[in-house]
Amino acid sequence: MNKNILSALLVLICSFMFSQAPAPIYSVCTLPSVVNESSGVEKTGPNTFWSHNDSGGQPAIYKFDSSGVLLKTLTITNTTNIDWEDIAEDQLLKTMYVGDFGNNNNNRSVANGNGLKIYKISDPNLIAGNTTTAGIINFEYVDRNFSAPAGNHNFDMEGFFFFNDSLHLFTKNRTSPTNGLIKHYILPSTPGTYTAMVVDSFNNGGVWITGADISANKKTVALSGNNKIWLFSCFKGSKFISTGTSTVLTMPASQKEAVVFSGDSVVYVTDEDTGGGTRRLYRANLAASLTPSIILNVTTSSPLLCSGQTATINVSGANTYTWSTSVTGQSISVSPTVTTSYSVTATATTGCTNTSSFTQSVSLCTNILSLEKYESISFFPNPFSDKFNLTASASNFSFVHIYNSLGSLVYFAEIKQEHTEIDLSSQPKGIYFVAVRGNNGSIIKKLIKE
Kindly state whether residue 68 falls inside one of the protein's structural domains: yes
Instruction: Mark whether 282 and 222 lie in a shared domain.
Output: yes
Give the CATH number of the domain where residue 321 resides.
Answer: 2.60.40
Q: Among 245, 263, 289, which residue terminates a domain?
A: 289
Q: Which residues of the chain have pLDDT under 70?
A: 1-19, 150, 363-376, 394-395, 439-441
Same domain as 377, residue 361: no
The CA-to-CA distance between both ends of the chain, in Å, stands at 68
The verdict on residue 266 lying in a domain is: yes
Are residue 272 and residue 303 in the same domain, yes or no? no
The CATH number given to whatever domain includes residue 200 is 2.120.10
96 with 204, same domain: the answer is: yes
Residue 73 Cα to chain centre, angstroms: 31
CATH number at residue 429: 2.60.40.1930
Rounded-to-integer distance, Cα 122 and Cα 276, Å: 36
393: in domain: yes
- Residue 347 in contact with residue 319, Cβ under 8 Å? yes
Nearest C-alpha neighbor of 403 from the set 391, 394, 412: 412
Residue 344 lies in a domain: yes
Q: Assess whether 114 and 168 both reside in one domain.
A: yes
Q: Are residues 360 and 387 in the same domain?
A: no
* Domains identified in the chain, total number: 3
Q: Which residue, among 290, 294, 287, 284, has the nearest Cα to 315 in the 3D structure? A: 294
- Distance, in Å, from the CA atom of 114 to the CA atom of 106, rounded to the nearest integer, reads 11
**Interatomic CA distance for residues 426 and 386, integer angstroms:** 8
Domain with 319, as residue range(s), is: 297-365
Domain end: 314, 344, 365, which one?
A: 365
Give a yes or no: residue 2 inside a domain. Answer: no
The verdict on 107 and 219 lying in the same domain is yes
How far apart (Å, rounded) are the C-alpha atoms in residues 175 and 206? 9
Which residues, listed in sequence order, are joined to residue 365 by a DSSP beta bridge? 306
Per-residue pLDDT, 4: 38
Q: For residue 334, list its beta bridge partners.
A: 311
In a domain, 1, yes or no: no
Q: What sign has the CA pseudo-torsion 407, 409, 414, 418?
A: negative
CA angle 226, 230, 232 (to 5 degrees): 160
Which of 238, 264, 289 terminates a domain? The answer is 289
pLDDT the model gives residue 443:
76
Domain co-membership, 318 together with 270: no
Residue-wise pLDDT for 170-216, tens only, equals 999 988 889 999 999 999 999 999 999 999 999 999 999 999 999 99
Is 204 contained in some domain? yes
Do 123 and 213 share a domain, yes or no? yes
Q: Which of 63, 67, 59 is nearest to 51 (CA)?
A: 63
- d(CA 445, CA 380) in angstroms, rounded, equals 12
At residue 394, the pLDDT reads: 67
Quick one: pLDDT at residue 441?
Answer: 67
Residues 126 and 180 in one domain: yes
Same domain, 301 and 280: no
Give yes or no: residues 241 and 141 share one domain: yes
Residue 173 lies in a domain: yes
Rg (CA), the chain: 30
383 Rama sector, left if φ>0, alpha if ψ -120 to 50, beta otherwise? beta
Secondary structure of the chain in the HEC alphabet?
Answer: CCCCCCHHHHHHCCCCCCCEEECCEEEEEECCCCCCCEEEEEECCCCEEEEEECCCCCCEEEEEECCCCEEEEEEECCCCCCCCCEEEEECCCCEEEEEECCCCCCCCCCCCCCCEEEEEEECHHHCCCCEECCEEEEEEECCCCCCCCHHHCCCCEEEEEEECCEEEEEECCCCCCCCCEEEEEEEECCCEEEEEEEEEEEECCCCCCCEEEECCCCCEEEEECCCEEEEEECCECCECCCCCEEEEEECCCCCEEEEEEECCCEEEEEECCCCCCCCEEEEEECHHHCCCCCCCEEEECCCEEECCCCEEEEEECCCEEEECCCCECCEEEECCCCCEEEEEEEECCCCCEEEEEEEEEEEEECCECCHHHHCCCEEECCCECCEEEEECCCCCEEEEEEEECCCCEEEEEECCCCEEEEECCCCCCEEEEEEEEECCEEEEEEEEEC
